[in-house]
Amino acid sequence: MNDQDAAAPVPRVSVVVFLLKGRSVLLGRRSSSVGNSTFALPGGHLEFGESFEECAIREVKEETGMEIAKTEFIKVTNNVFLDETKPCHYVTILMRAEPAGADEEPKNMEPNKCDGWEWYEWGNLPKPLFGPLDKMVNEGFKPFPP
Ligand code: IPR
Ligand code: MG
């Protein structure tokens, strides 16, 4: 491998979580170079050695302070962001989960990255949604268990 290969951009892996409360989902408006000002799911980068479930639990805790339960894999998507300030490529693992207890409520633990977390009814989602999420919604995707 030469120096140029070492510097070449590579796809990264992210895990995001449909945190569900009845027919509502938790979303926060991003403050980020990717998808800035769009409403997105909690989640982030998979760390070395982590399972998808471990990453989902850690990211939700870091970003919202919440404990989650019934964490399960839904699907995987391939997202290329060439038009962003920082072009990037993510293979994104979509999980679903629910709050671990009735008293779990989101707090904005990373105000530098998110404007705040709110529950939104699936039939009345805010706009603009983060691009990959918007695409899935428009294609009729639903995150709820059968
Ligand atoms: P972090 O790890 O900062 O929570 O990452 P993120 O929320 O920016 O997610 C990265 C993957 C996105 C851009 C698909
Ligand atoms: Mg994140």
pLDDT of residue 59: 98
Whether residue 31 has its Cβ less than 6 Å from ligand 1: no
Whether residue 64 has its Cβ less than 6 Å from ligand 1: no
Average pLDDT over residues 125-131: 98
* Least confident interval from 3-7, 49-53, 121-125: 3-7
pLDDT of residue 6: 65
pLDDT of residue 8: 86
pLDDT at 1 over 70: no
Pairing of strands 12-21, 39-40: unpaired
Which domains, and CATH codes, for the chain? 10-116 (3.90.79.10)
Which residues fall within 8 angstroms of residue 39, CB to CB, at 6 or more apart?
27, 28, 29, 30, 120, 125, 126, 127, 128, 129, 130, 133
CA 104 to ligand 1 center in whole angstroms = 23
Nearest-atom number in ligand 1 for the CA of 88 is 13
The CB density around residue 99, as the number of other CB atoms within 10 Å, is 20
Residue bearing the CA closest to ligand 1, atom 13: 34
Residue bearing the CA closest to ligand 1, atom 4: 44
Q: Is the CB of residue 120 less than 8 Å from the CB of residue 29?
A: no
Q: Which ligand is nearest to the CA of 42?
A: 2
Q: Give tens-digit pLDDT for 10-23.
A: 999 999 999 999 99
The CB density around residue 14, as the number of other CB atoms within 10 Å, is 19
Q: Give tens-digit pLDDT for 43-87.
A: 999 999 999 999 999 999 999 999 999 999 999 999 999 998 889
Can you read off the two tokens belonging to residue 59?
């990211």
